[in-house]
A and B are shown apart, each in its own frame.
Chain A
Amino acid sequence: MKTKFKRSHFAMPFFLLNVIFVVIPLIILLINAFKGDDGGFTFSNFVKFFTVANLKTLGRSLIIALLTTILSLAICYPLAMILANSKINKTAILVMMFIVPMWINSLLRAYAMVAIFEMLKVNNSYLKVVLAFTYDFFPFMLLPIYTILSNMDKSLIEASTDLGSSSLKTFAKVQLPLSMPGVISGILMVFMPTLSTFSISNIVANSADMYLFGNLIDDYFTNFFYNVGSAYSFILLLIIGVVMLFANKFSNNSPQIKGGSVI
């Protein structure tokens, strides 16, 4: 029996490719995470994670990611507000100029930051890493907030001021809540990559001072401890999953995480 070709069958290569190259690799990783040295089933790879050194590494990663996210938000929210205000800024060129560096290799941008740190004699590892991460990732915060603020119905803000609210109250009660989906997607797009990136931090700071969660996974895999490495990767995946769930709770009309905020 020959089934008739339908136009939706063009999606078949998509499913096939994704099952083979995305789903199966993750399953292999999961199987490896539960595999002991003798090849049998074990939880020991996960248990091994709970050492003081590893938890310190995780804590360091979380602190760095959190500081980067807060700094990016503190810079990008006012910036997006100004850029989206048609009474102050009339062109999109300025927004473009902030976005353009994002398309340049991120390791090169990290190296450019090294140049600045060398000139200004900045030596604190935490400071260097947070500044470099912020420099590399802030467009991901700026873009979704700018998009949502510039598409916002201005009459709502006018209505609020007409009804007698002060501009501060209008901001807190109208503009900020309405822009939350953009803020959440910005936070995710900065927080998630900074939690697992180690290439940028290794370039600006010595990896001995600034050993992050990504370094941990990298070390296990480059030293051929695949099973333990796989277990640690799943712990990272779990953290990402929890953060996503939390974020989706916050913005009930959940914006698509990345890519969804296309202008």
Chain B
Amino acid sequence: MTIKPWKKILAMSFVYIMLAITYLPIIVLIIFSFTKSRVIGVWSGFTWELYAEVFRDSEIISALINTLVIAVISASLATLLGTISAIGIHYLKRRLKNAASTINQITVVNADVVTAVAFMMFFLAVGIPGGYVTLVITHTIITMPYVILAVLPRLRQLNPNTYEAGLDLGAGHFKVMFSVIMPQLIPAMISGFFMAFTLSLDDFLITNFNNGWEIETISIYLYTKLTKSGVKPVLRALSSLIFVVSMLVLVGINVYSKKRNKSNPIMAIK
């Protein structure tokens, strides 16, 4: 059965139109980051001024630093803890394994706003003030399930006898874990890390309720500026920078994983 050429053209034009709609808002924002006009749609001459403003704005710089520090620490912790957890879960008996996978789904399925306020009430009850500590804890906990989901399928593909072989050859459990099993999981751990990292960067709600109302991340900064204090042109330059950097990182990861012919982390779902 062949498809008629006109049907093929029609189908592909639908795809390309949707693709154009997907990228149009981003492109418009990037174009108007090179002009100082107050509203988008009015061109008032080319300038790099908005980009200079981004780097002069100490609030933006500190929000960027906070975001990256929290994302790197919590994604690293989530990757380490998530991988160890996944290995443990993999070797659990069936009933406990099912319980673990249900528990692992709680924060994934739950509404972010409910997770966020539950964390807040918890920290209030145990008396930990909102700040870096609570942000690192919450971001680690909400991203860990995704690391586990990334690592578990890879574990199933491993030779089931390697663990036993390690023990028989005289290594302890921890030695087997860190020098036999984990090295084979590195590709899955990398994609788990990137998922955790992006989710942490993307988070607004959890941060909003657990930052002690003072630590600003990029999401908090954007939300405050976009909803409360009026949209400033400098946001266009900041957004364009983040778009371009995110795109470059994504292309980088993709090229790297193509080269090593490993599973593609970008295609794995958030």
Contact = CB atoms under 8 A, between A and B. Distances in A.
Given A112-B239, A230-B121, A196 B15 contact: no
Most B Cβ at <10 Å: residue of A28, A103, A144, A230: A103
A43 interface: no
B141 A107 contact: no
Q: Which 5 A-B pairs have CB atoms at the shortest separation, nearest pair first?
A: A11-B88, A10-B88, A112-B25, A14-B85, A25-B122
A21 interface: yes
B180 to A, nearest CB: 11
Most chain A CB atoms below 10 A, which of B1, B113, B226, B231? B113
A123 to B, nearest CB: 14
Contacts of A75: 18
25 contacts: A8-B92, A10-B177, A11-B88, A11-B89, A11-B91, A11-B96, A13-B81, A14-B81, A14-B100, A17-B144, A29-B118, A79-B14, A82-B11, A85-B3, A103-B270, A104-B242, A104-B243, A111-B231, A112-B26, A113-B25, A143-B269, A202-B223, A202-B227, A240-B109, A258-B108
Interface string B79-91: 0010011011101
A242 to B, nearest CB: 13
A115 B268 contact: no
B267 A111 contact: no
Contacts of A195: 111
Contact of B106 (A22, A32, A85, A203): A22
A8 B91 contact: yes
A225 to B, nearest CB: 11
B98 interface: no
Interface stretch (A45-53, A171-179, A213-221): A213-221
Contacts of A236: 111, 113-114
Given A22-B106, A79-B14, A229 B149 contact: no
B19 A203 contact: no
A10 to B, nearest CB: 3
A233 B209 CA distance: 14
Interface residues of A, number: 93
B157 interface: no
Contacts of A113: 25
B40 interface: yes
A7 B269 contact: no
A15 B269 contact: no
B12 interface: yes
B68 interface: no
A196 B112 contact: yes
A221 B25 contact: no
A10 B11 CA distance: 50
B103 A18 contact: yes
A98 B268 contact: no
Given A21-B119, A25-B122, 9 more contacts: A23-B106, A26-B106, A101-B26, A105-B219, A109-B25, A115-B32, A217-B114, A259-B108, A263-B264
A7 B163 CA distance: 9
Interface string B243-269: 100110010001000000000101111
B107 interface: yes
Contact of B88 (A14, A94, A198, A256): A14
Given A115-B28, A244-B109, A263 B239 contact: no
Contacts of A158: 1
Contacts of B267: 92, 95-96, 99, 262-263
Nearest to A204: B226
B85 A103 contact: no
B225 to A, nearest CB: 9
Contacts of A83: 15
A88 B106 contact: no
B117 interface: yes
Of B8, B29, B201, the most chain A CB neighbours within 10 A belong to: B29
A44 B267 CA distance: 47
B159 interface: no
B226 to A, nearest CB: 5
